[in-house]
Amino acid sequence: MPVSHKTIVRVAVPSPLRRLFDYNVKESCAFAPNSLVAGMRVSVPFGRRQIIGIIVEITNHSDIVPEKLKDVTEFVDDQPILSGRLLKLFKWASSYYQFPIGETLFHSLPILLRNGEPLPELRERYWTLSQKGLDAGEELLVSTPRQSSLFKLLKSKINIKESFILEQFSRSILSKLEERGYAQLEYKENERVADDILVGNPREPNQEQQIVLDAITLNDFNCWLIDGVTGSGKTEIYLKCIEKILLAGKQALVLIPEINLTPQTERRFNSRFNVPIVVLHSGITKKQRLQGWAKSLSGEVKIILGTRSAVFTPMKKPGLIVVDEEHDSSYKQQDGFRYSARDLSVMRAQYEDIPILLGSATPSLESLRNCDEQRYRHLMLTKRAGSAAVPKWQTIDMRQEKIESGFAETTLSSIADTLHRSEQVLVFLNRRGFAPVMLCKQCGWAAECKYCDSKMTLHRSCNQLICHHCGARSNPPAGCPACGSGQLIACGEGTERSELMLQDRFRNTQILRVDRDTTKKRGHMLEVIQTAQKGHPCILLGTQMLAKGHHFQHVTLVVIVDADASLLSPDFRSTERMGQLLTQVAGRSGRGTLPGNVLVQSYQPHHPVLQILLGKGYGPFARELLAHRRKVDLPPYQYLALVRAESKLASRAERFLLMAKATADSIRKSSKALYYTGPLPALLERRSGRYRYILRIECKNRKLLNSVLDKLARNLESDHSVRWCIDVDPQEF
Ligand code: ADP
Ligand code: ZN
Ligand code: ZN
């Protein structure tokens, strides 16, 4: 290995190549070699382009011969934008999720930083007279009256904010005084610490909460699973712990699954703490993201509240991570860098040596297993805080009922009774649009997407057929394209249709619909919440958006229109998800003083899984599923990864995976430890005109699986015949 006495930096660049790139640091570089730090950005030549990269290592060795080593063109930062601990975390993530190191690092940065924008200056700029200025007499400036008045201003007071000066003087006047040596710039850290961080009056913890709070220690790494029924006061626990962290001068990172839908969460934090809070989610501008990121890096912001990608936010003084609704599948990114923000949070807490709280009313099987293995500590809240009672479940046997547009007669009369008592109803139907299928009554033709293996959903409001997988749209045909008959019927129920039906049946009742179509309108969710809070009898109707985190105090009846869909799905996780969703939806009711009822409509009311869930609750239900997973060797008792391939030709995707399987097999010769299934078509075989295939690789040994995947990925790196990726701990098939 050629050894150079020069400084060489190993740089991550946004490239699919799974390695770092070496560059030479010129001796004439503005940095003394010991002030170069990993985590700084550089501008470097790459191929024929000039690109931004991040220094990951500093060394004086390179495998590249010195003549071929290119120079760093420019140093973008004068301080690292990523700490050593974060760099370590991202290296771990890159190798765990088999995603190229450069792309992993760049994924974590706000777009403006990826593009080379400078880190915003967050320190406040102040001006004051220099020694020369203090010694000088005003008469020196008589010929320049503007400079003279600025001089007088600076003389009147030390340290004047630049923004205040610029309200009265142009920047050029200020620069002239500086050039002449009379004025000088001072920086002040803008790290406000509120004297009194509490604004809201926290409630006295109840007995269960106190036990949980006493168990949680906040000094170093530890992972707690707070397993508490909806409304049991988990959020109160987070707030109490955050309070202690803030008092110690540290920052807290709080992840929630979906922020646009839960404006209350942000308000709850704001009304409790008198500290700067930043909210990071997909709806903010590039500039806001950069600002929030930088303020967290500088320590100015004390609480970072955000969705999945907020896990990458740097913190100056990290103190605590909270992952609310830890079971939520939106924590797993489903394309590109397929990381799980929950799992990455736990790793991050470990690297930063800080505590982490995972909270849920319906913990994931993974987390429950981690508790069994003593990796996490299991803390329970079994009662609702305050006076609210736990809702009562009842199944409606659809086989015995007269049914109108998806609603059983018994259900409709319960809705009527509830409204009659001036209480509110929540109807849950996880299907948006008017009808999921458009059928020909004569020949059975059904409207299908041209690009996917799926039916088109009829949307009444825009009168279009829309594919929910790829977004393709078309006008509904006037007659059947197959037999010419005019008898096309909309089959099945979506939220639009239920809305019409319920409105027709309950004429004087307000129906508030919430799904991805209605929430496109800004502020719609907030409007719904505010209307519901007024307490008039109404029907809230919606998809899983309604299940996430809202408090509807006046709802006393919850209707689950279709509990069967997920009992029949081939995805092994679908039962777990159904249990979580049903429990979450049910938890929306009876939060006030009135008791809640939950009606579950099913054609299989005696399905054993449904029986356990409804009869015994989520805890025993989850235990049952865990026992089953253990028996059949599925996660979390088995580690699982997929190689995914997509191509316009099914045969090409399949061939690629056969080759991948052979390669993996040769890496670890006929190992009994690794178990392959496939290539198989994905559950949705064709999407957006591409055929999707998967190869499942299972293993009981995480390290072994990881090392095989790593070699496999390097082997496949140069294959561009299909779109492929590796999905570790997949959530979709
Ligand atoms: P979760 O996060 O588990 O759903 P929350 O923390 O939101 O529960 O609490 C549910 C409701 O109970 C909220 O309205 C909250 O203000 C109230 N609450 C929580 N803890 C207490 C307590 N110790 N005493 C009285 N009310 C409480
Ligand atoms: Zn037909
Ligand atoms: Zn489609």
Cis amide prior to 2 (ω within 30 degrees): no
587 lines ligand 1 (CB under 6 A): no
Is the pLDDT at 719 greater than 50, yes or no?
yes
State mean pLDDT over 298-305: 93
State mean pLDDT over 296-321: 95
The segment with the largest mean pLDDT, out of 69-78, 85-94, 546-555, 559-568, is 85-94
Buried-exposed string 450-479: b where 16+ CB fall within 10 A, e elsewhere: ebbbbbbbbbbeeebbbbbbbebeeeeeee
Q: Which protein residues have a CB closer than 5 Å to ligand 2 (ion)? A: 440, 442-443, 445, 480, 482-483, 485
Homologous superfamily of 3-114: PriA, 3(prime) DNA-binding domain (3.40.1440.60)
pLDDT of res. 349:
97
For residue 384, the CA-to-ligand 1 centroid distance in Å is 8
203 lines ligand 1 (CB under 6 A): yes
Which of the 8 DSSP states describes residue 518? G
pLDDT of res. 1:
46
State mean pLDDT over 93-110: 94
Phi, psi of 711 (to 5 degrees): -65, -40
- Tokens read off for 119: 């880190």
User: Picking from 288-302, 334-348, 521-535, which range would have the lowest pLDDT averaged per residue?
Assistant: 521-535
pLDDT of res. 46:
94
pLDDT of res. 176:
87
State mean pLDDT over 27-35: 66
Pick the CATH number of 207-381 from 3.40.50.300, 3.30.1490.190, 3.90.660.20, 1.10.3720.10: 3.40.50.300
Q: SS3 letters for 85-146?
A: HHHHHHHHHHHHCCCCHHHHHHHHCCHHHHCCCCCCCCCEEEEEECHHHHHCCHHHHCCCHH
State mean pLDDT over 440-444: 92
State mean pLDDT over 632-645: 94
Q: Please, which pLDDT band fits residue 138 given cuts at 50, 70 and 90?
A: low
Contacts 24+ apart (CB under 8 A), 397-402: 397/602, 397/603, 397/605, 398/601, 398/602, 398/603, 398/605, 399/603
Is the pLDDT at 120 greater than 50, yes or no?
yes
pLDDT of res. 2:
47
382 lines ligand 1 (CB under 6 A): no
The segment with the largest mean pLDDT, out of 146-155, 395-404, 550-559, 593-602, is 395-404
318 lines ligand 1 (CB under 6 A): no
* Whether the Cβ atoms of residue 495 and residue 433 lie closer than 8 Å to each other: yes
pLDDT of res. 195:
66
pLDDT in tens, 670-706: 667 888 998 999 988 999 999 999 999 999 999 999 9
Pair type for strands 160-161 and 424-428: unpaired
Q: Among 235, 241, 254, 357, which is best to mutate for testing ligand 1, by the most ligand atoms less than 8 A from CB?
A: 235
Protein fold of 639-728:
Alpha-Beta Plaits (3.30.70)
pLDDT of res. 132:
83
User: Picking from 207-221, 230-244, 671-685, which range would have the lowest pLDDT averaged per residue?
Assistant: 671-685
pLDDT in tens, 480-492: 999 999 899 999 9
Which residues neighbour 307 within 8 Å (Cβ) at sequence distance 6 or greater?
255, 256, 257, 258, 259, 280, 281, 282, 330
pLDDT in tens, 490-530: 999 999 999 999 999 999 999 999 988 888 887 888 888 88
pLDDT of res. 244:
94
Q: Among 203, 210, 236, which is best to mutate for testing ligand 1, by the most ligand atoms less than 8 A from CB?
A: 236
- Tokens read off for 219: 């000094």
325 lines ligand 1 (CB under 6 A): no
Is the pLDDT at 165 greater than 90, yes or no?
no
* Percent of the chain topping pLDDT 70: 95
pLDDT in tens, 259-275: 765 667 888 898 899 89
Q: Please, which pLDDT band fits residue 591 given cuts at 50, 70 and 90?
A: low
Average predicted confidence (pLDDT) for the chain: 89
Q: State how far the Cα of 568 lies from the Cα of 609, in Å rounded to an integer.
A: 12
Is the pLDDT at 3 greater than 60, yes or no?
no
Protein fold of 392-435+492-629:
Rossmann fold (3.40.50)
Atom from ligand 1 closest to the CA of residue 206:
23
pLDDT of res. 388:
60
205 lines ligand 1 (CB under 6 A): yes
Q: State how far the Cα of 632 lies from the Cα of 458, in Å rounded to an integer.
A: 39
pLDDT of res. 309:
93
Which of the 8 DSSP states describes residue 481? T
Is the pLDDT at 341 greater than 60, yes or no?
yes
